[in-house]
């Protein structure tokens, strides 16, 4: 084997040809590659491109990079950890960063959540949660409880069990047929956040629970924000009702806070809007401030006990990079920053500015809805947009925004300045206006009347 150069890639031009011929990107084709943007560095709220341009980042790198890039305290914590212990197996071994992080997670989440499983990504945290629920019921001598109930428009990741609880039509169910486990789906919550609650919203899910509970192990749901399934903000009363149903019918409640956790919706965790507790909680994305992959699944004493009473007596999961010390150190540093307490004000300022600056987009003919919650701003168009084309238009305006489906949305870092945020909102409105003024010419003609092919944040 010839040795490959490893030192000059930082300074050499980006090899776009190799990239398009050999490297998969998320939700991409190796036959018809889409243009990718070369990023060589990032700082604060800006991505720095190979041609020297700087783009204000409206995505926080898929909702994770809440403190901005190259933050000195996260970088320093990771550097120290790198020189001390970058990785060691977690089987039969423990280490200070994992203990410190787990202590903090136990302390900052609801009181009943006392046990922590450190997973390597959001999807794996969901797999772990589902597996815990199934093993729990084995331990409780009810092994027939194997189905999972969820709502439509959900998104929980791309691995197989996670896919099984994603939206049945918008998700990847049809693509993989019987290989994806058949789960139970209730309609998506309809009562919107900040509006009146319609109690009949819970009718169908109540009925499903009443009929199927002997077979239902758990309900899984994204609290308050259905993210990749449509950026829908729903009423906290729905969650309260769901908690009551789970208690009534002896079903575990799994809350997937992977997208919403750590302040994004204006509360540290979105479930706090409803004042409820989960039996199992999934965290990810902003856990490390978006610096490195790490997720966590927390559960109650009761769930942990049930799992240990299952025939295996142990929880059957243990990835190679479980509890990676470098990732735990990044997470501790990110939580330190959150604990400094600036985020609530930052998020509420972002929310106020988004509400003010996005409101008039509703006047454009192709805009169906404008909505804001916490540090999330959404312009929903009437038709599916052409993501690559819009991405290019946004880059020309000095911003990084990646729409999906009908949604032009942003989830900026909490540390974004007012002027950077205005740059993002102006660009969103200009693009929405352009699509409206050109009667859809901003949209791929073939896609104009189609729904998104499948739900992902891609
Ligand atoms: N759950 C939710 C609510 C998500 O939004 C995502 C990703 O967007 C996931 C799970 C999957 O996380 P990951 O992409 O880290 O596997």
Is the whole-model pTM more than 0.75?
yes
Give the pLDDT of residue 268: 98
Residue 123 CB–ligand 1 contact under 6 Å = yes
Residues 6+ apart with CB under 8 A from 37: 47, 49, 55, 391, 395, 400
pLDDT category, 5, cuts 50, 70, 90? low
Mutate to test the pocket of ligand 1, among 255, 256, 285, 321 (most ligand atoms within 8 A of CB): 285
257 alpha carbon – ligand 1 mean position (Å): 9
Number of the ligand 1 atom closest to the C-alpha atom of 62: 8
Average pLDDT, the chain: 94
pLDDT category, 170, cuts 50, 70, 90? confident
**CATH number at 6-70+342-437:** 3.90.1150.10
Give the pLDDT of residue 172: 84
Question: What is the spatial distance between Cα 448 and Cα 49, in angstroms, rounded to a whole number?
Answer: 31
pLDDT category, 454, cuts 50, 70, 90? low
Number of the ligand 1 atom closest to the C-alpha atom of 457: 8
Mean pLDDT of 181-197: 97
Question: For 372, which DSSP code?
Answer: E
Question: What is the spatial distance between Cα 432 and Cα 364, in angstroms, rounded to a whole number?
Answer: 7
Number of the ligand 1 atom closest to the C-alpha atom of 121: 15
Question: What is the spatial distance between Cα 447 and Cα 443, in angstroms, rounded to a whole number?
Answer: 7
Residue 261 CB–ligand 1 contact under 6 Å = no
Rounded to the nearest 10 degrees, how much is the dihedral formed by the CA atoms of 162, 168, 171, 177? 80
The CATH class that applies to domain 75-339 reads alpha beta
Long-range Cβ contact pairs of 434-439 (< 8 A, separation 24 or more): 434/393, 435/364, 435/366, 435/381, 435/385, 436/364, 436/365, 436/366, 436/367, 439/365, 439/366
Question: What is the spatial distance between Cα 125 and Cα 123, in angstroms, rounded to a whole number?
Answer: 5
Give the pLDDT of residue 187: 98
How do the residues of the chain divide into helix, strand and coil, expressed in percent and rounded to 5? 40, 15, 45
Mutate to test the pocket of ligand 1, among 258, 269, 458 (most ligand atoms within 8 A of CB): 258
Mean pLDDT of 408-420: 98
Residue 122 CB–ligand 1 contact under 6 Å = yes
Say whether pLDDT at 110 is over 50.
Answer: yes
Q: Name beta bridge partners: 149.
A: 184, 219
Which carries the bigger pLDDT value, residue 303 or residue 1?
Answer: 303
Residue 127 CB–ligand 1 contact under 6 Å = no
Q: Which residues are catalytic?
A: 27, 155, 256, 285
Please tell me the residue having the least CA distance from ligand 1 atom 13. Answer: 122
Q: Which among 337, 154, 352, 369 has a CA at the least distance from the CA of 266? A: 352
Number of the ligand 1 atom closest to the C-alpha atom of 228: 5
Mean pLDDT of 435-440: 83
Residue 290 CB–ligand 1 contact under 6 Å = no
Give the pLDDT of residue 444: 46
Say whether pLDDT at 7 is over 70.
Answer: no
Give domain limits for the chain: 6-70+342-437, 75-339
Range from 59-73, 158-172, 289-303, 406-420 carrying the lowest mean pLDDT: 158-172
Share of the chain above pLDDT 90, in %: 90
Mean pLDDT of 320-338: 98
Which carries the bigger pLDDT value, residue 11 or residue 446?
Answer: 11
Name the CA radius of gyration of the chain, rounded.
22
């Amino acid at each position: 084997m010839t040795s490959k150069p490893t030192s000059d890639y930082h300074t050499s031009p980006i090899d776009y040809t190799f990239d398009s011929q050999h490297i998969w990107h998320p939700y991409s084709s190796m036959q018809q590659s889409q243009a990718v943007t070369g990023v060589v560095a990032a700082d604060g709220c800006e991505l720095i491109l190979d041609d020297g341009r700087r783009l204000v980042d409206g995505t926080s790198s898929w909702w994770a990079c809440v403190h901005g890039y190259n933050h000195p305290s996260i970088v320093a914590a990771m550097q120290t950890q790198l020189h001390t212990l970058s990785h060691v197996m977690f089987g039969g071994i423990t280490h200070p960063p994992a203990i410190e992080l787990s202590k903090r997670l136990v302390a900052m989440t609801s009181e009943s959540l006392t046990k922590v499983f450190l997973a390597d990504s959001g999807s794996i945290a969901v797999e772990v949660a589902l597996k815990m629920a199934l093993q729990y019921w084995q331990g409780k001598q009810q092994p027939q409880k194997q189905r999972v109930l969820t709502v439509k428009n959900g998104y929980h990741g791309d691995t197989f069990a996670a896919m099984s609880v994603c939206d049945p039509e918008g998700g990847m169910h049809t693509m993989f047929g019987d290989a994806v486990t058949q789960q139970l789906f209730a309609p998506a919550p309809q009562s919107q956040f900040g509006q009146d609650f319609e109690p009949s919203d819970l009718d169908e899910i109540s009925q499903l629970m009443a009929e199927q509970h002997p077979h239902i192990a758990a309900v899984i749901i994204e609290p308050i924000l259905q993210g990749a399934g449509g950026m829908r903000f729903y009423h906290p009363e729905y969650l309260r009702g769901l908690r009551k149903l789970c208690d009534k019918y002896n079903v575990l409640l799994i809350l997937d806070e992977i997208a919403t956790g750590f302040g994004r919706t204006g509360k540290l965790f979105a479930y706090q809007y409803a004042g409820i507790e989960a039996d199992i909680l999934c965290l990810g994305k902003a856990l490390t401030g978006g610096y490195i992959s790490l997720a966590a699944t927390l559960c109650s004493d009761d769930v942990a006990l049930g799992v240990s009473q299952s025939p295996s007596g142990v929880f059957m999961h243990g990835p190679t990079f479980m509890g990676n010390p470098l990732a735990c150190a990044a997470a501790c540093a990110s939580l330190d920053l959150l604990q400094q307490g600036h985020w609530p004000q930052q998020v509420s300022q972002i929310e106020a500015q988004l509400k003010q600056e996005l409101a008039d987009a509703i006047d454009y003919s192709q805009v169906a809805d404008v909505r804001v919650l916490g540090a999330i701003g959404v312009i929903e168009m009437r038709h599916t947009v052409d993501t690559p084309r819009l991405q290019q238009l946004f880059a020309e305006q000095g911003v990084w925004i990646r729409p999906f489906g009908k949604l032009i949305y942003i989830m900026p870092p909490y540390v974004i300045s007012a002027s950077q945020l205005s740059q993002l909102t102006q660009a969103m409105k200009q693009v929405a206006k352009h699509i409206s003024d050109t009667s859809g010419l901003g949209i791929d003609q073939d896609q104009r009347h189609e729904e998104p092919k499948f739900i992902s944040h891609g």
